[in-house]
């Protein structure tokens, strides 16, 4: 096996996610990976890549993590999978107990699925079905924020708002109520994140007041809209949202698929606003980046609305074949175990400070419109004009130039359009942060030429 034969065979049969496959013939050569160790990926010829994006935001404690590997090996020799309808097993049970324990108060029940989008579908269906079971059949709509992202299946896509992924499928999607968001990129130059987030809440309050009778739930990504170019806002928005949802009788769905498990500085992003959502969706980092698994946490009050004699047909008859997979649950338990035996959040504060320091040099760059950071997520907004923040035309694909330069230098960055971001595994060192940021700096110099 060498790089070339793998790539040739790959392009003959494999259709890759989120890709224009034609790109892989020239612009973006396919990168074959043989193995991973810590923050490093290695190809078939010994070339290494620093995984600065945690393999699409899933990896927390490095590739081939010894603790998670051990746990999985033991699970593999015991039970790989069993139907979760009518059956249960130790890993699913222990993980549900653990998730109930570590998530914000009031989340007492855990429903499993196998990816983030499915978790969103479940939260949407549960919210709608809850109101229906209560006889509130007029509640059929969801409220969502501009620039949000919740996954690619049709329900999740409908409540998302990134045009690039959504527009094509418009005719297939349910109608939603879209509210202007709190994205602090658009605050006034002298306005704080907090003041702007409070100001932007007025639109949400109005939408809730107007649509309370039709709205099942508001769905948000707490603190960071990751796929929406890593746009960020202040926790006060979540606090106001929780109060307003209670006031108007609308559920709050927190999509922590990307921001959960320490990404924003706290174990869950909702903690920074000191709120409990009615539904919390978890996936991505849940298994440390090992296996597909997701969970929807909700409260007893919701659970009770489904609990009745079978003949009344109020049960939640939703399932996926791999729901509660034993290997996935075991990887998740091992991952959470690392949070509980090591001071991960404390160490991350040091790493986040190192990222902030390394990013300072971009502040005066003539093509940087903003650098922003929330915990272990940092982003650089490339612009054509620093004063007006005029964006580069997307057709120029400037971010792609950064991507290609970084790969040549052995760093995996994957810009979102013209936004270069860093979302590394928590086992990155300060030296590796310096390398990752220096490589981005060089890539940006190339990307803004001509
Ligand atoms: C990735 C993501 C999803 C979808 O998860 P998949 O596992 O890719 O289906 C949903 N919400 C957010 C916020 C995400 O970042």
Q: Kindly report, residue by residue over 271-328, the tens digit of the pLDDT.
A: 999 999 999 999 999 999 999 999 999 999 999 999 999 999 999 999 999 999 999 9
% residues pLDDT > 70 (the chain): 100
Is position 318 annotated in a ligand binding site?
no
**Alpha-carbon gap, residue 230 to 426, rounded angstroms:** 18
CATH 3.40.640.10 domain extents, the chain: 69-341
Decide whether any atom of ligand 1 lies within 6 Å of the 161 Cβ.
Answer: no
Residue 14 in tokens: 């494999």
- The predicted pLDDT at position 179 comes to 98
Please count the other Cβ atoms lying within 10 Å of the Cβ belonging to residue 209.
11
Task: Evaluate whether 392 touches 438 at the Cβ level (below 8 Å).
Answer: no
In 3-state terms the chain splits into helix, strand, coil percentages (rounded to 5) of 45, 15, 40
Q: At what angle do helices 398-408 and 430-447 cross, to 10 degrees?
A: 130
Three-class SS state of 7:
helix
Residue 205 in tokens: 């309050």
pLDDT higher than 90, residue 1: no
Fold of 69-341: 3.40.640
- Neighbour-count burial of 73, counting CB atoms closer than 10 A to its CB (0-12 exposed, 13-18 middle, 19+ buried): exposed
Distance 230 CA to ligand 1 centre (A): 13
Decide whether any atom of ligand 1 lies within 6 Å of the 287 Cβ.
Answer: no
CA-based Rg of the chain, rounded to a whole angstrom?
A: 22
Characterize the bridge pairing of strands 40-42 and 48-51: antiparallel
- Out of 118, 151, 295, 322, mutate this one to test ligand 1's pocket (max ligand atoms within 8 Å of CB): namely 151
Residue 68 in tokens: 């998670």
Distance 149 CA to ligand 1 centre (A): 7
- The predicted pLDDT at position 205 comes to 98
pLDDT higher than 90, residue 26: no
Nearest atom in ligand 1 to the alpha carbon of residue 151 is 4
Beta sheet of 294-298, edge-to-edge order: 109-113, 294-298, 279-282, 251-255, 215-220, 141-145, 177-179
Decide whether any atom of ligand 1 lies within 6 Å of the 253 Cβ.
Answer: no
Is position 414 annotated in a ligand binding site?
yes
Q: Whose CA is nearest to atom 11 of ligand 1?
A: 150
Distance 435 CA to ligand 1 centre (A): 28
Q: Which of 159, 294, 134, 310 is nearest to 220 (CA)?
A: 159
Task: Evaluate whether 337 touches 94 at the Cβ level (below 8 Å).
Answer: no
Q: Whose CA is nearest to atom 8 of ligand 1?
A: 116
**Alpha-carbon gap, residue 135 to 115, rounded angstroms:** 31
- The predicted pLDDT at position 201 comes to 98
Characterize the bridge pairing of strands 215-220 and 141-145: parallel
Span 31-64+343-447: which CATH code?
3.90.1150.10
pLDDT higher than 90, residue 404: yes
- The predicted pLDDT at position 450 comes to 85
Mean pLDDT score across all residues of the chain:
97
- The predicted pLDDT at position 408 comes to 97
Residue 53 in tokens: 């994006």
Decide whether any atom of ligand 1 lies within 6 Å of the 227 Cβ.
Answer: yes
CATH 3.90.1150.10 domain extents, the chain: 31-64+343-447
Distance 150 CA to ligand 1 centre (A): 5
Nearest atom in ligand 1 to the alpha carbon of residue 156 is 10
Distance 33 CA to ligand 1 centre (A): 23
Distance 281 CA to ligand 1 centre (A): 9
Q: Which of 446, 444, 247 is nearest to 363 (CA)?
A: 444
Nearest atom in ligand 1 to the alpha carbon of residue 117 is 9
Decide whether any atom of ligand 1 lies within 6 Å of the 149 Cβ.
Answer: yes
Which uninterrupted H or E stretch holds 141? strand 141-145
**Alpha-carbon gap, residue 287 to 350, rounded angstroms:** 24
Size (the chain), residues: 450
* C-alpha dist (Å) from residue 344 to 350, 420, 426: 10, 25, 8
Decide whether any atom of ligand 1 lies within 6 Å of the 283 Cβ.
Answer: yes
**Which phi-psi region, left, alpha or beta, contains residue 295 (left: φ > 0; alpha: ψ -120 to 50)?**
beta
With bands split at pLDDT 50, 70 and 90, how would you rate the model's confidence at 27? confident
Decide whether any atom of ligand 1 lies within 6 Å of the 116 Cβ.
Answer: yes
Q: What angle do CA 163, 171, 168 make, to 5 degrees?
A: 35
- The predicted pLDDT at position 336 comes to 98
pLDDT higher than 90, residue 190: yes
pTM value > 0.85: yes
């Amino acid at each position: 096996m060498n790089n070339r034969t793998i790539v040739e065979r790959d392009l003959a049969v494999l259709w890759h996610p989120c890709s224009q496959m034609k790109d892989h013939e020239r612009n973006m050569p396919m990168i074959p990976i043989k193995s991973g160790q810590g923050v490093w990926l290695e190809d078939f010829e010994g070339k290494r890549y620093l995984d600065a994006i945690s393999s699409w935001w899933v990896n927390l404690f490095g590739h081939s993590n010894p603790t998670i590997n051990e746990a999985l090996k033991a699970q593999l020799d015991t039970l790989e999978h069993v139907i979760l309808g009518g059956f249960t097993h130790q890993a699913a049970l222990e993980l549900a107990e653990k998730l109930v324990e570590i998530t914000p108060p009031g989340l007492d029940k855990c429903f499993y699925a196998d990816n983030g989008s499915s978790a969103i579908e479940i939260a949407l269906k549960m919210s709608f079905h809850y109101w229906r079971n209560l006889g509130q059949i007029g509640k059929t709509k969801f409220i969502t924020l501009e620039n949000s992202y919740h996954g690619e299946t049709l329900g999740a896509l409908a409540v998302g708002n990134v045009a690039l992924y959504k527009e094509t499928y418009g005719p297939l999607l349910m109608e939603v109520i879209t509210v202007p968001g709190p994205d602090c990129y658009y605050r006034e130059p002298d306005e704080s994140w907090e003041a702007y987030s409070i100001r932007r809440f007025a639109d949400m309050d109005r939408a809730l007041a107007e649509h309370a009778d039709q709205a099942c739930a508001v769905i948000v990504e707490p603190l960071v809209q990751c796929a929406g170019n890593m746009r960020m806002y202040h926790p006060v928005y979540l606090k106001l949202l929780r109060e307003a949802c209670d006031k108007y009788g609308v559920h709050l769905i927190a999509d922590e698929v990307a921001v959960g498990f320490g990404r924003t500085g706290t174990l869950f992003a909702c903690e920074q606003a000191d709120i409990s959502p009615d539904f919390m969706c978890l996936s991505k980092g849940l298994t440390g980046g090992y296996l597909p698994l997701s969970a929807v946490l909700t409260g007893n009050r919701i659970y009770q609305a489904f609990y009745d004699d079978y003949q009344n047909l109020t049960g939640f008859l939703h399932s996926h074949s791999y729901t509660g997979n034993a290997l996935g649950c075991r990887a998740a338990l091992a991952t959470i175990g690392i949070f509980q035996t090591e001071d991960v959040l404390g160490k991350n504060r040091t790493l986040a400070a190192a990222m902030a320091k390394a990013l300072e040099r971009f502040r005066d760059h003539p093509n940087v419109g903003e650098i922003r950071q929330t915990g272990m997520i940092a982003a650089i907004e490339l612009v054509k004009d620093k004063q007006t923040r005029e964006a580069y035309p997307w057709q120029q694909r400037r971010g792609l130039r950064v991507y290609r330069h970084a790969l040549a230098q052995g760093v995996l960055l994957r810009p979102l359009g013209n936004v270069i971001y860093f979302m590394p595994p928590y086992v990155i060192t300060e030296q590796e942060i310096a390398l990752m940021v220096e490589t981005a700096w060089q890539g940006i110099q190339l990307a803004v030429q001509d």
